[in-house]
Structure 1
Amino acid sequence: MQGMFSRPLLLTLADGREVVQQFRTEPLELDAFKIAKNALGSVVPDAMALENEELFKEGVWAYSFNRIHGNLWVRGIAGKGTNGRIAINKSLGRTMSKGYIADTSDEAVDGRVRSHLEALVVSPLEDINPYRGQLQGFLDNLDQLKNLV
C-alpha cells in the first residue's frame, strides 16, 4: 500500500525552498509522476530520486519532491471522528471513481472511448464543427492509446 513503508520529512533548504524528502523501503515509479505532471501541471510535485549507494545497501530509496502548499488529508479529518472520515472517504471515492473507466487501456478504448469519439464525429451539432477534424484524428489514432499501461 502506498506510503505504508515510507517516512516523509518536510525540509527547508538553505536557499529557503521547502521540499518533501521521502525514504522508502521499495523503489518508487517516477515515470508515473512525469506522466501526471505533463497532464495535470503544477498540482503534481516534481519528483527526483536521490542516488545513494549506502542507502541502497540498507534497502532504502530516497526521493525528493517540491512542496505543494495545501492541507493534508489527515489534517482535514482531524477531530471529525468516524463520521467525518467516512464522509471524506466517500467524497474522495466519488471524485476518483469518475476518472476510472476500465482496468486496462485496451478495455477503455474499445469499451468507452471509441464509441464516444465515433458519436461526436457524426454528431449534427454545429458546436462540434470546429473540433471535428481533431476528433477524427483522435479516432484514427486510437489504437495508440491501447499501448498505455
Structure 2
Amino acid sequence: MTKFVKSNADLPKTLNSDAKQIARAKTLAEAHLGVKAKKAKGPRVQGFFSRTMKVTMDNGEEAIIQFRVKPLDVASFHQARDVLGPVVPNIKRLQDAELDRDGIATYFMTCMPGKTWLESNLWDKWDPKMNVEATKSLGRILSQGYVLGGSEAVVDSEIKGKLEQLLESKNNDVQRFRADIQRLLSSIDKLKYLPLWVSHADLNYLNILVEDSGQVSGIVDWELSKNLPFGVGLSRVHDLAGKYRNRMFHMPKEFEEAERGFWEELFGGIPTDIKRTLLNHLREIEMAVHVGTLLDTLDQGETLNQAALNSLPLLLTYRIPALRGDGAPFPTANT
C-alpha cells in the first residue's frame, strides 16, 4: 500500500470510501468513550498521510479519529502537551486488529475548539484584525516552550548535519543558496548558547486553530516536532503575519503590527531567568531564525516550494524587533 494518500483509492478496502471511514470512526469512538456516536464528518482538507474524522457523540462530546498510513510518534505529542498545555490535543493509539493488519495506525485525539486559521481568514476575506490577534496569541502560547537541556547535541547532530547535507546537494535550487548555507554553517556553534524550545515542524494555517476573536485555541500535528535552539522553530512567523501571492511573499499593511506583537508576547511570557539568557544572545536568536527559514525552505526533498524559494533571499535578511529597533523587518524590501 502507498505511503502517500492522494485519494480514498490509496487506502485498503476497509477504508476506501467516506462511508467506510465514517462507520469505522463512529465504532472506534464509541468503544473508546463508552458513548453512542451520533455522526462523523471529515474536514474540508485532509492530510497527505491520513484520513481524519470528527465524531460527535450523543452527549455532545466531540472526538477526533485519525487513520494513518504512517504511524505517529505519540511521545512528541505528549511532550508538547506537557510543555504548552491543553492547546495541544491529547492522543492515544487505538487497537483495531483489521486495520492493523491492513497497515493502518488508528488514533484518538481530543477535539480542539475553533476553526483552522485558513478557514477563519480565507485569502479572499483577509481580516487584518483577526490576523494580528492570532499572531500575537501564538506568541503567548509558544512563550511556554522551554525544555530542560542544552542545545549542544542538537546543533551538532541535527542542524549542522542538515546544513552540511545541503552543501552536498546537487539540486540547482539548493545550490543557489550555497553562500548562505556556508555563512550560517561557519557560525553554527553560536546557537549552542540558546536554550532548547519545543518546536513544531510545520506551523501553518491548517495546523493552527483559532476562535472567532483570533485567539489560538489549538495547535495540531506535532508528530515531527523537535527540541531545537530558541528561534529555529519560529521562522514561520513570516508566513503567518504575511501572505504569499503570485509565488512571492508579501507584507500586508498590518504585517509589522502582527510580527512585532508576536515577539512582544513571546518574550513577555518567558520566565525571567530564561529571558535574561535570551536577551544576552539576540544576534544568535536572529541567526537561529535565519537557520530555521533556510532549512524550512531547502530541506524538503527534491521538490521545493517555488514561492518559498522566490522569497528566501528576502527572508534571510530578516531583523528581529529587538535588534532592528524602529527599522524595517527586511532592510532590502521594496516599500
- Separation of aligned partners in 1, 2:61 and 2:106: 18
Matched, 1:49 2:131: no
* Structure 2 stretches lacking a partner, 5+ long: 5-46, 156-189, 197-271, 277-335
Matched, 1:105 2:187: no
Aligned-pair distance for 1:76?
Answer: 2.7
- SS at the partner of 2:55? strand
Map 1:14-53; keep pairs closer than 5 Å: 14-53=58-97
Asked whether the 8 Å contact 2:151–2:193 carries over to 1, the reply is no
- Separation of aligned partners in 2, 1:49 and 1:21: 10
- Counterpart residue type for residue 71 of structure 1: K
Map 1:1-149; keep pairs closer than 5 Å: 3-78=47-122, 80-81=123-124, 105-106=151-152, 107=155, 110-113=192-195
- SS at the partner of 1:64? strand
Asked whether the 8 Å contact 2:151–2:195 carries over to 1, the reply is no
- Separation of aligned partners in 1, 2:195 and 2:74: 27
Aligned-pair distance for 1:77?
Answer: 4.3
Runs of 4+ deviating beyond 6 Å: none
- Counterpart residue type for residue 195 of structure 2: V
- Please state which structure has a larger fraction of its residues in helix: 1
Aligned-pair distance for 1:71?
Answer: 1.3
Map Cα deviations across residues 14-60 of structure 1 (whole Å, 9 max, x no partner).
43310011100010110011101110111011100101221111110
- SS at the partner of 2:81? helix
- Counterpart residue type for residue 46 of structure 1: N
- Separation of aligned partners in 1, 2:191 and 2:62: 40
Distance change >3 Å, CA 47–CA 112, structure 1 → 2: same
* Structure 1 stretches lacking a partner, 5+ long: 115-130, 136-149
- Separation of aligned partners in 2, 1:76 and 1:109: 36
Percent same amino acid at aligned positions? 28
- Separation of aligned partners in 2, 1:30 and 1:41: 15
Aligned-pair distance for 1:10?
Answer: 0.4
- Separation of aligned partners in 2, 1:109 and 1:53: 46
- Separation of aligned partners in 2, 1:105 and 1:24: 32
Number of residue pairs the alignment of both structures matches: 105
- Separation of aligned partners in 2, 1:105 and 1:13: 44
- Counterpart residue type for residue 103 of structure 2: G
Distance change >3 Å, CA 105–CA 51, structure 1 → 2: farther
